[in-house]
Structure 1
Amino acid sequence: MTDTTGAQTPLPEIAGTLLERMGIEITEATARRAVGTMPVAGNTQPYGLLHGGASAVLAETLGSYAAQQHAGASRAAVGIELSCTHHRSAREGLVTGTATALHLGRTLATYQVVVDDADGRRICTARLTCMLIDAVA
């Protein structure tokens, strides 16, 4: 992945994280855009529908990845606000999330994240704001 200066930023290790447990795969991450997928299977409510919280996790993950690219290696991006509107659900397959930058500032970065099903139908629209802070050594 590359940050806003074009420098390569390595992917963080996901073993043992929520991303691994939910099957989230990041396919693209730049400061302006991040894309990833998540299986519906294993991320459902007891009724068999994609859990709204799973869509929120995907949205925050993608926005945070993009914000970290904007922040650069010496800073950290931490989510401070997430709102999600759930338009419909899915019962099977993969959902794809796309985070697009709305604001890339010195201390804040805000993203709109759209989660679609395999047929391109919108599942969720989310907005994430991250604070950009000095990285803890």
Structure 2
Amino acid sequence: MFFQVIAAARDGFKSHGIELNSFLVLYSKISARLAGVSSHATFRKQDLWKANLHSYDNVVIFGVTQMMETLGEKMEKELKVGCLVAACRYPVPDWTPTRTIGEGIDTVWLYQMPQSLTPELNKDESVS
């Protein structure tokens, strides 16, 4: 998880990692500091299922097969129109990727949240 957050910070993005394991959160914070990106890369110990994803423009997820369907449903409810999602190692069931990169365990499926999958609140926000 922390590799992608730090890489995004190096590219100038404000990035945020959510992790349930306290040791991995601490390790990630130390890694960001050593990489010189701690002002742009933050990490928080939090249960992904309780996190609100509404404010994110891009999401990178390293999940396991058993969680991807439920996670897809959560993202459909919470992510805004146009949000980019990169699913690493396992695809989101019933979603159509805009692009697939790599193969085997190194496969990444790229998705863009369409308007039809986002909550009514987000549809209203996209109209000015």
TM-score (norm 2): 0.29
Name the one with the larger helix percent.
Answer: 2
Name the one with the larger strand percent.
Answer: 1
Q: Which structure ranks higher in relative contact order (CA pairs < 8 Å, sequence separation ≥ 6)? A: 1
TM-score (norm 1): 0.28
